[in-house]
Amino acid sequence: MEYYIRTEADVKIFVHDINPGGKTTILFIHGWPLSHRAYEYQFNKLPAMGFRCIGMDTRGFGKSGKPHTGYSYNRIADDIRGVVHALDLKNFVLAGHSMGGAAAIRYISRYNGYGVSKLALFGAAAPSLTMRPGFPYGHPKEDITQIIESSLKDRLQMLRDTAPMFFSKPITQPQSDWFFLMGFEASGIATAACAMTFRDEALFNDLDKIRVPTLILHGIHDQVCLFPLAEVMHQSIRNSVLIPFENSGHGLFYEEQDKFNSELARFIGQV
């Protein structure tokens, strides 16, 4: 099923809903600059295991509305809340990759974990993607600024240049095209504005507010959200488990599909 949900901010959010009769619901939040289609290889397998899989395109990306403003973590969390309300989701698993993982964390913090029974984070951009005083594990802020400037000057070339960072090994042309085409769907303003968000915002105070069991899956070769971020999250989130992916970079759900699907299903507890 595919449909649109109009949020309180009057933005249409596109939703892809597979196996609505599944016993357990997983709401997937994609990363920058992708869309729900990044989870193709989860949507191919997990519904057959009994899961209801919902993928939403965050504002500015994929098939969702593309407003000129509203790309903070708070606003994205508000959009997630709008989807949860519209679909009347209860006891669901909230799952997020990269910036989507950060948005999932903010949702938990901002809405006191409303409706969420478990949290799953994949290469999450938390607690900070950039280096800060006392936090040396991210990227220099200047590197993210360069991505923002490239997005505003030549976004298509930026997507081509960024694609190899997503994977742990040299990529094929089809892999590059897969990444490029999802990024191409996004709004240019959203692409740059979200990069400003993950450059400037941090979630240190959010981690302690997570009260649900949390799974952290992270590629040890991740060049985007470096592996030490996963270790910090694991140390900061009570009742969390960290599973390193030895053969993956940032796109672990693509590079190690079988392991990824198996670990996620095991965490949720249906297999």
In this structure, the strands spanning 92-97 and 116-122 are parallel
pLDDT of 16 reads: 98
pLDDT of residue 9: 72
Model pTM?
0.97
pLDDT one digit per residue (tens) for the chain, 271 residues: 999 999 877 899 999 999 999 999 999 999 999 999 999 999 999 999 999 999 999 999 999 999 999 999 999 999 999 999 999 999 999 999 999 999 999 999 999 999 999 999 999 999 999 999 999 999 999 999 999 999 999 999 999 999 999 999 999 999 999 999 999 999 999 999 999 999 999 999 999 999 999 999 999 999 999 999 999 999 999 999 999 999 999 999 999 999 999 999 999 985 4
- What HEC string does the chain produce? CEEEEECCCCCEEEEEEECCCCCEEEEEECCCCCCHHHHHHHHCCHHHHCEEEEEECCCCCCCCCCCCCCCCHHHHHHHHHHHHHHHCCCCEEEEEECHHHHHHHHHHHHCCCCCEEEEEEECCCCCCCECECCECCCECHHHHHHHHHHHHHHHHHHHHHHHHHHCCCCCCHHHHHHHHHHHHHCCHHHHHHHHHHHHHCCCHHHHCCCCCCEEEEEECCCCCCCHHHHHHHHHHCCCEEEEEECCCCCCHHHHCHHHHHHHHHHHHCCC
* pLDDT score at 238: 95
Q: Nearest 5°: CA angle at 168, between 26 and 179?
A: 60
Using CB atoms within 10 Å of the CB of residue 158, give its burial: 0 to 12 exposed, 13 to 18 middle, 19+ buried. buried
> What residue ranges define each of the domains in the chain, with the CATH number in brackets?
2-268 (3.40.50.1820)
Query: Mind telling me the catalytic residues?
Result: 98, 222, 250
User: What distance in Å separates the CA atoms of residue 237 and residue 216, rounded to the nearest whole number?
Assistant: 10
Q: Which two tokens stand for residue 3?
A: 């449909």
- Say what the pLDDT of residue 271 is: 43
